Amino acid sequence: MKQSRRRTTLKRQSRRDFLVSAGRGAIAAGAFGAYPLRGWAADPVNIGGLYPVTGSFAQIGQACVNAAKLAVEMVNEAGGIKSLGGAKLNLIISDVQSEPTVTRTETDRLISSNKLSAIHGCYASALTLIASEVAERAKVPLLTGSSSDLLNKGRTYTFTPFARASQFANAQLQMSRLVSDKPKVAVIFENTAFGTATSNGLKEQAPAEGVEIVLFEPYSAGFADAGPLLNKVKASGADMLFSVSYLNDLILIVRTVKQIGLKVGINGGSGGFVVPDFYKNVGALAEGLQGVAHWNHDSDANAQKVNAEYKKRYGEFLFEYGGGLIAQTFMIADALERAQSADPQKVRETLSTLDVSSGYAAMAPGGKVKFGPDGKNIYGHPVGVQWQHGDLASIFPKEDARAPLMKS
């Protein structure tokens, strides 16, 4: 990696003062045997990937890196960027360690020490918000699957091809009507920024969707026992439970619902609920539980193909963020192709005019990607999913459904 970085700097210099340093360039060419004297176009194009490979998001961060690598391999095997003489993508990963402060310095370092055409990252919205600020200042385009609506405010270099947080709440409420015509919903949420923001969205939109919220209860994350909390859910008479929780609490909630014998549908939202690990921990109890995702692996033939390849390599299905990441890489490739340049500002221009409805770049619920002025995919919406036979099946809305609702 160090060598390729030096090579890029040399190349940049020789291009800038070509005549003056022609001689020096030749020496450089000699020093790096493979350096093509004539065909600079075949130089690899650097794209940065910012993911939390260590720290609390480590597990999912590592899975993101796996998906990002697979995506780059796919682009390169298909001939790279043809308008740049078949240039290969070169993925440079940086570990943001699940820490906001580290994210700031790592993003800075990644951008200043490499000539990047685009960046993707960082899985967790809290981290992506910081990285996107840094990228904005450095004028490097950033693509992300993070759902925070703040990413679409006051930014011109950030692109969000998938559903926004505000849309997730709406989809969840509409899904509760699959279970009953006049759903009575209990919302329990951890009292953190994530839990509060998500549940407030649910509360605000519920009346318009004809959903009655019978219990709205914050709880302290990381409890020893879910019993008392679910005692309240039972008393509320709800027929649907929305749990805005991280994995640990969710495992206890699902198990306790079974123990009580509570007859209630569960919608676990997105994030930790729609990853293979959830099923590994909860097992058959997960069957029939609903959630929402910004991407699912059964959406079209391309998604099924990458899912099969990912499964072959890593032994589990391609999770929402990883699948979206593969689509993002192809969006970057498409933008590079049309920009005919690795220059990040030109890539931003072509990303802003991206309009795809086929191929890997269009793997998203609805199958179309086109960015509005706020960097939001104008066709973006979430897909409702259900755990069926150890796998996630798309069940909502009708046009995205790939399997019927499993009654539990």
Partner 1 sequence: MLEIVAQAVINGLLIGGIYALVSIGVTLIFGVIKIVNFAQGEFVMIGMYISFFLFAYLGVDPIISLIVSMPVLFVAGVLIQHFLIRRVLGLNDLPQIFLTFALSLLILNLALMLLTANYRTVHTWYSDEALHISGLYIPVAKLIAFVLAMALSAALWIFLHTTDLGKAMRAAAQKPEVAMLMGINPNRVFCVALGIALALAGAAGSLLMPFYPAYPMVGQVFTLMAFVAVVLGTLGNVVGALIASLMMGVAESLGIQFVGADSGLIVVFLMLLLTLAVRPSGLAGGRAR
> What is the binding site for partner 1 (CB under 8 A)?
56, 58-59, 188, 191, 217-220, 222-225, 227-229, 231-232, 235, 247-248, 251-252, 255-256, 258-261, 277, 281-283, 285
In whole angstroms, the minimum distance from the beta carbon of 1 to partner 1 comes to 25
389 sits in the region (left: phi over 0; alpha: psi -120 to 50; else beta) called left
In whole angstroms, the minimum distance from the beta carbon of 58 to partner 1 comes to 6
* Of residues 283 and 404, the one with the C-beta less far from partner 1: 283
* Of residues 42 and 247, the one with the C-beta less far from partner 1: 247
Distance CA 244, CA 241 (A): 10
* Of residues 95 and 400, the one with the C-beta less far from partner 1: 95
Starting at the edge strand that comes first in sequence, how are the strands of the sheet with 142-143 ordered?
89-95, 45-51, 116-121, 142-143, 158-159
Copy the structure tokens of residue 46.
């650097």
* Of residues 154 and 228, the one with the C-beta less far from partner 1: 228
* H or E element, residue 110: helix 100-113
Distance CA 60, CA 66 (A): 10
Give the residue among 11, 231, 239, 233 at the shortest CA–CA distance from 114.
11
Quickly list DSSP for 341-390. S--HHHHHHHHHT-EESSSGGG-STTS-EEB-TTSBBTT---EEEEEETT
In whole angstroms, the minimum distance from the beta carbon of 174 to partner 1 comes to 26
* Of residues 47 and 186, the one with the C-beta less far from partner 1: 186
Angle formed at CA 210 by CA 204 and CA 211, multiple of 5 degrees: 65
- How far, in whole angstroms, is CA 62 from its chain's centroid? 13
* Of residues 163 and 233, the one with the C-beta less far from partner 1: 233
In whole angstroms, the minimum distance from the beta carbon of 252 to partner 1 comes to 7
In whole angstroms, the minimum distance from the beta carbon of 224 to partner 1 comes to 5
In whole angstroms, the minimum distance from the beta carbon of 403 to partner 1 comes to 26
In whole angstroms, the minimum distance from the beta carbon of 255 to partner 1 comes to 6
Copy the structure tokens of residue 224.
């020893």
Question: How many Cβ atoms sit within 10 Å of the Cβ of residue 128?
Answer: 27
* Of residues 227 and 359, the one with the C-beta less far from partner 1: 227
